[in-house]
């Protein structure tokens, strides 16, 4: 079933504004709809069309004037959100230079301890250590984290987890693995 983008965009007014999410998508906290920059521009154009349609009613009566003024306020609000989004700095996440993944047996399934090393200074919001249970679901949950660094580290934890599983079948113990920047 094909969804008409204009209809989907007009269903929610996004009264709470739009929040920046990974991959420069913008998410409405109310309806969870995700828009790219073009989608936000289309959302503004929908309001402008509605305002232009309301303008033709101004000639008729006071109700038409109220409808026009209300639609004009909505255009201003949406344009404000668009301008704010366009001014969001494009933050580039510092890529790790090296990731050390080690397995520590805690008596149950075990834990993967990760140390993340950066060539440049670690960003203020960056992670330099990470710990996750040696459990498939815990690792998969990390792979859906909003941070691109944590997602790439989670992929490497998964890769090491699979290597350990194969090695355990052959009675070989693997306890650590280092991944370098070209592998991330």
For residues 146 and 102, membership in a common domain is answered with yes
Q: Give 9's pLDDT tier (boundaries 50, 70, 90).
A: very low
Residue 18 near residue 27 (C-beta atoms within 8 A): yes
Q: Give 99's pLDDT tier (boundaries 50, 70, 90).
A: very high
| 91: in domain | no
Residue 127 near residue 149 (C-beta atoms within 8 A): yes
The strands making up 111-118's β-sheet, listed across from edge to edge, are 129-133, 111-118, 96-104, 176-180
- Number of independent structural domains in the chain: 2
Residue 94 near residue 120 (C-beta atoms within 8 A): yes
DSSP string across 112-129: EEEEEEESSPPPTT--SE
For residues 49 and 109, membership in a common domain is answered with no
CB-neighbour burial class of residue 49 (10 A; exposed 0-12, middle 13-18, buried 19+): middle
For residues 19 and 50, membership in a common domain is answered with yes
Residue 28's pLDDT is: 78
For residues 104 and 82, membership in a common domain is answered with no
For residues 79 and 120, membership in a common domain is answered with no
| pLDDT, tens only, 122-163 | 666 667 888 899 888 888 888 877 777 888 889 999 999 999
Q: By residue range, what is the domain housing residue 118?
A: 96-183
Q: Considering only 8-17, 41-50, 121-130, 141-150, which range has the smallest mean pLDDT?
A: 8-17
Residue 115's pLDDT is: 92
- Alpha-carbon span 156 to 117, nearest angstrom: 14
For residues 114 and 76, membership in a common domain is answered with no
Which sign, positive or negative, has the C-alpha torsion 71, 75, 76, 78?
positive
User: Is the pLDDT assigned to residue 118 strictly greater than 80?
Assistant: yes
Task: Label residues 117-150 b or e (16+ Cβ within 10 Å = b).
Answer: ebeeeeeeeeeeebebebeeeebeebeebeeebb
More confident residue, 78 or 90: 78
- Alpha-carbon span 100 to 129, nearest angstrom: 10
Residue 114's pLDDT is: 93
For residues 71 and 116, membership in a common domain is answered with no
More confident residue, 21 or 70: 70
Final residue before a domain boundary, out of 86, 116, 135: 86
Residue 122's pLDDT is: 66
Q: Model-level pTM? A: 0.49
């Amino acid at each position: 079933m094909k969804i008409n983008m204009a209809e989907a965009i007009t269903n929610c007014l996004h009264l709470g504004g739009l929040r920046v999410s990974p991959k420069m998508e913008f998410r409405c906290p109310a309806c969870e709809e995700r828009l790219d920059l073009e989608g936000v521009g289309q959302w503004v154009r929908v309001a402008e069309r509605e305002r232009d349609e309301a303008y033709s009613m101004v000639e008729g009566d006071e109700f038409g004037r109220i409808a026009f003024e209300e639609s004009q306020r909505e255009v201003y609000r949406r344009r404000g959100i668009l301008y704010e989004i366009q001014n969001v700095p494009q933050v580039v996440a510092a890529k790790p230079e090296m990731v050390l993944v080690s397995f520590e047996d805690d008596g149950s399934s075990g834990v993967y301890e990760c140390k993340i090393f950066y060539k440049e200074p670690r960003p203020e919001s960056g992670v330099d250590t990470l710990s996750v249970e040696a459990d498939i679901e815990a690792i998969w949950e990390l792979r859906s984290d909003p941070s691109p660094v944590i997602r790439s580290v989670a992929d490497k934890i998964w890769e090491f987890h699979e290597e350990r599983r194969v090695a355990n079948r052959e009675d070989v113990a693997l306890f650590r693995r280092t991944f370098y920047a070209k592998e991330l």
